[in-house]
Structure 1
Amino acid sequence: MTHVASAPHEAPLTQIDHARAGRVTPQMAAVAAAEGRDAEAIRAAVACGRIAIPANVRHGSLAPAGVGSTLDGVPLSTKVNVNLGISGDLSDEAAEWEKVAVALELGADAIMDLSNSGKTAAFRRELIRRSPAMIGTVPMYDAIGYLEKALVAITPEDFLRVVRAHAEDGVDFVTIHAGMNRRVIESFKETGRLANIVSRGGSLIFAWMEATGRENPFYEYYDEVLAILHEFDVTISLGDAMRPGSGYDATDAAQVAELVELGKLTKRAWDAGVQVMVEGPGHMALDEIAANMRLEKRLCHGAPFYVLGPLVTDIAPGYDHITAAIGGAVAASAGADFLCYVTPAEHLRLPDASDVREGLVATKIAAHAADIAKGVPGARDRDDRMSDARRRVAWDEMFDLALDPARARAVFESAPPSNEGTCTMCGKMCALRTVNAIMDGLAVDLDADQR
């Protein structure tokens, strides 16, 4: 049953507060217009937590996007996220801005700034100022550089300071690994894993817990985290510290134990008037994906689901944008609402702008294919227009309709055809050109060398 509770605040502050008060906000109206839905249906789903609209009150350049499904089960379009950010080994801010440009050019719905080296606030603030896409962060990544302390010296109060700094800057959603509590750690240690913990944020929290002997600070002080997020309407993206990092570990005791905890934390966030997304695997065999999507929706009360991949095989370094796109298409068609891209550089190095382009296009293909499969209203319209343009051999229209127009045009122009209205694949033997001529009552005369 869907959990709905009134937020314990005198005046509505967040999207979920306003929705429960019966008000359609400008952000809800914008999502309704973008998705071709009724604004009241959007409001009702936000009120129940089925749709999240990450929209920090300080992100003035934001073009709001909705993640999830309406109460009648009709999904919104699957959203796609791009990860980027400054790394200690490759600290090149100009390169990161090049990636931002590619992400915005190709229509990414979200950008996660995963910067983890040095003072990252200036980059984050400028990204929020420039970007119409929603912005996410993982405050845990920033903690050591922001606080200038060794990991074991950081206190729970310090962690909360970093969360507040990100919220004040205008971040729309934050990944908080609050579900990996002592109970989950015990399950992980008892059952074991092939790849252990592959979540960067999860590994840091695990290290802190083991070194200090304390509970996960984001779990122990979860109410304080929620109070900060509510103040700025930051959506909590409940991170999956125990996501499987290999197909062998998929759907194991540690993953499921954490998911149970995430379901409890989802309800607590809704009670506090905070919007929720839940993060999911990871690496997973193709035949396990659909069941995992249903499991998450059941245990987390229909909250929007945000998945990385899943990568369906572990032996394709250099091509993991493909392994992730295969899994992403299955995941989204089975109920996932939000896909995090994976690039060809996954497991190998920090991605460059070219990797970002390849990864984002692959993930957008997966998302769009899933939208068609799960019946998102209007999802097939663009495909039908492309088919009509192909029938008419209308190249400029085809390029405009492509997910990556620049790439499509560049490939075509790299090998100019000798016959107008064709390409070098078929030349004069182009099936569409031949049938068009016949349908127009024209004679078809192919030269001998075209047989």
Structure 2
Amino acid sequence: MNYTTQMDAAKKGIITKEIETVAKKENMDVQKLMQLISKGKVAIPANKNHKNISAEGVGKGLKTKINVNLGISKDCCNIDIELDKVKKAIEMKAEAIMDLSCFGKTREFRNRLIDISPAMIGTVPMYDAVGFYDKELKDITAEELLNVIETHAKDGVDFMTIHAGINRETAEVFKRNPRLMNFVSRGGSLLYAWMHLNNRENPFYEYFDKVLDICEKYDVTISLGDSCRPGCIDDSTDPSQIKELMTLGELAKRAWKRNVQVMIEGPGHMALDEIKANMILERKLCHDAPFYVLGPIVTDIAPGYDHITSAIGGSIAATYGADFLCYVTPAEHLRLPDLEDMKEGIIAAKIAAHVADIAKGIKGARDWDNKMAHARRELDWEEIFKLAIDPEKARKYRESSRPEDEKTCTMCGKMCAVRNMNKVMEGKNINILRDDD
């Protein structure tokens, strides 16, 4: 039996190799997984032309996934440096990599990325359009914008951010409700500017059926972009954000009728006490489509530490319904991240995802923590390092300050509660001031 997309296969009861892979990774019954995919509650972004992908599922009941952003820009256009980041992200087992390249040899970098990556690959075609045609934004035609989408699809991109929700109606809501930070979505701001300069409807909204034609042909998952995501906590949960979210929900239903998989993108900057309500709103307005969030960043005062502000928000968001976390690095708002920034961003996002999986009761999530607790009780340092989310950093800290008693650390020494409780429970004496017998 033939099928066009993973969603089409699931509706027809066909177990694709990608569905089988995800079911095994998630320890989920394959029939249950197919039911979730057929209803749009789970997506498996896997372009037919991405031959070496190790498929991942994003959505309801699955482990929280993380995405790593990278790519070349006009100010930092060294492809080899970005490929080093790609290799590190793969080594650190990021489930997704988004190529946000916006200058120079974008296609060369994208093709090399897809060739080497088992992780799913995402792009934002709007970023690429100006450089792709070497034309000013105003002069790019709607047809040319659609052609960029098709080029990315042919190359093997698994999911694309398409800012189709910022239509004229949403733009009017934005104009009537001024914001402190206006738009901070790069793609959304470019489309808003294109619409304004050409006095035209957003081509991705106007020609959404043509976008679906492309995505169905190559099985590209649409990540419906949030042009109106808040760029500061003062702008969160405002009329523009909610109006766009309603539009994204309508577009998701149109995509599912064509068997095109969908993810919904979400905030952004947001105060802690608004996160739960926003997750509920997305689930309701977007019909349980997988939710992909940037952060949320829960305070605006921490440049240089936004991997932390993002991890705080991300763990809460994923606990209450987000399925996919876009990492944020310490360089956010300041510069293109380097390799070390990227590593810190990945670790922070992985922590947030795991914290949420424990809270959501994802099968097996607590096992890792229980193994770590057992290793700590045994003061088995090698096992502790092996289980650590960042073994290199854990070992480096341990070796930088050696204790008198090798079983302990330099915080407590022989006053170590674990050491002493082990001895008491074994019926042994506790020698703190003297050497053990």
Q: TM-score range by the shorter chain?
A: over 0.9
Aligned-pair distance for 1:411?
A: 1.4
SS at match of 2:45: coil
Instruction: Tell me the residue number matched to 1:387.
Output: 373
Structure 2 distance, partners of 1:311, 1:399, is: 30
Instruction: Tell me the residue number matched to 2:4.
Output: 13
Structure 1 distance, partners of 2:398, 2:72, is: 35
Are 2:163 and 2:225, in contact at CA under 8 Å, matched by a contact in 1? yes
Alignment deviations for residues 151-184 of structure 1 (CA, whole Å, 9 cap, x no partner) = 1110011011110110011110000000100000
Is 2:137 the partner of 1:151? yes
Structure 2 distance, partners of 1:251, 1:17, is: 34
SS at match of 2:176: helix
Aligned-pair distance for 1:440?
A: 2.2
Q: Which of residues 278, 288, 303 in structure 2 aligns to 1:292?
A: 278
SS at match of 1:444: coil
Structure 1 distance, partners of 2:140, 2:69, is: 26
Match for 1:203: what amino acid? Answer: S
Aligned-pair distance for 1:11?
A: 4.2
After superposition, residues 153-232 of structure 1 pair within 5 angstroms as: 153-232=139-218
Structure 1 consecutive aligned stretches of length 4 or more whose deviation exceeds 4 Å: none
Instruction: Tell me the residue number matched to 1:59.
Output: 50
Q: Which of residues 23, 29, 43 in structure 2 aligns to 1:32?
A: 23
Give the TM-score normalised by the residue count of structure 1.
Answer: 0.95
Is 2:319 the partner of 1:339? no
After superposition, residues 399-418 of structure 1 pair within 5 angstroms as: 399-418=385-404
Q: 1:253 to 1:367 in 2, by over 3 A?
A: same
Alignment deviations for residues 52-86 of structure 1 (CA, whole Å, 9 cap, x no partner) = 000011111111110111xxxxx210000010010
Instruction: Tell me the residue number matched to 1:47.
Output: 38
Match for 2:58: what amino acid? Answer: V
Are 2:331 and 2:341, in contact at CA under 8 Å, matched by a contact in 1? yes
Instruction: Tell me the residue number matched to 2:227.
Output: 241
Instruction: Tell me the residue number matched to 1:4.
Output: none
After superposition, residues 346-385 of structure 1 pair within 5 angstroms as: 346-385=332-371
Is 2:87 the partner of 1:101? yes
Are 1:13 and 1:231, in contact at CA under 8 Å, matched by a contact in 2? yes
Are 1:106 and 1:404, in contact at CA under 8 Å, matched by a contact in 2? no
Are 2:77 and 2:104, in contact at CA under 8 Å, matched by a contact in 1? no
Structure 2 distance, partners of 1:134, 1:82, is: 10
Aligned-pair distance for 1:417?
A: 2.3
Q: Which of residues 13, 17, 20 in structure 2 aligns to 1:22?
A: 13
Alignment deviations for residues 79-131 of structure 1 (CA, whole Å, 9 cap, x no partner) = 00010010111112222122212211221110000011112111111111111
Instruction: Tell me the residue number matched to 1:301.
Output: 287
Structure 2 distance, partners of 1:413, 1:124, is: 40
Are 2:102 and 2:127, in contact at CA under 8 Å, matched by a contact in 1? yes
Match for 1:161: what amino acid? Answer: N
SS at match of 2:365: coil
Structure 2 distance, partners of 1:414, 1:174, is: 44
Instruction: Tell me the residue number matched to 2:428.
Output: 442
Aligned-pair distance for 1:199?
A: 0.1
Q: Between Structure 1 and Structure 2, how many residues are aligned?
A: 436
Instruction: Tell me the residue number matched to 2:407.
Output: 421
Across the aligned residues of Structure 1 and Structure 2, the Cα RMSD in angstroms comes to 1.3
Match for 2:99: what amino acid? Answer: D
Structure 1 distance, partners of 2:388, 2:203, is: 46
Aligned-pair distance for 1:146?
A: 1.0
Structure 1 distance, partners of 2:107, 2:80, is: 15
Structure 1 distance, partners of 2:222, 2:292, is: 12
Aligned-pair distance for 1:448?
A: 7.2
Are 1:106 and 1:403, in contact at CA under 8 Å, matched by a contact in 2? no
Is 2:59 the partner of 1:83? no
Are 2:297 and 2:310, in contact at CA under 8 Å, matched by a contact in 1? yes
Alignment deviations for residues 214-234 of structure 1 (CA, whole Å, 9 cap, x no partner) = 000100111001100111100
Segment of structure 1 superposing worse, 274-283 or 395-404:
395-404
Q: Which of residues 91, 96, 99 in structure 2 aligns to 1:113?
A: 99
- Stretches of structure 2 lacking an aligned partner (at least 5 in a row): none
Aligned-pair distance for 1:409?
A: 1.3
Q: Which of residues 287, 308, 311 in structure 2 aligns to 1:325?
A: 311
Structure 1 distance, partners of 2:194, 2:349, is: 34
SS at match of 2:313: helix
Is 2:261 the partner of 1:275? yes
Aligned-pair distance for 1:12?
A: 1.3
Match for 2:334: what amino acid? Answer: L
Is 2:245 the partner of 1:259? yes
Match for 1:50: what amino acid? Answer: K
SS at match of 1:236: strand
Structure 1 distance, partners of 2:166, 2:330, is: 29
Structure 1 distance, partners of 2:312, 2:280, is: 18
Percent identity (aligned): 59
Structure 1 distance, partners of 2:200, 2:45, is: 31
Structure 2 distance, partners of 1:204, 1:339, is: 24
Are 2:65 and 2:325, in contact at CA under 8 Å, matched by a contact in 1? yes
Structure 2 distance, partners of 1:202, 1:86, is: 19
Aligned-pair distance for 1:289?
A: 0.4
Are 1:428 and 1:446, in contact at CA under 8 Å, matched by a contact in 2? yes
Structure 2 distance, partners of 1:139, 1:346, is: 21
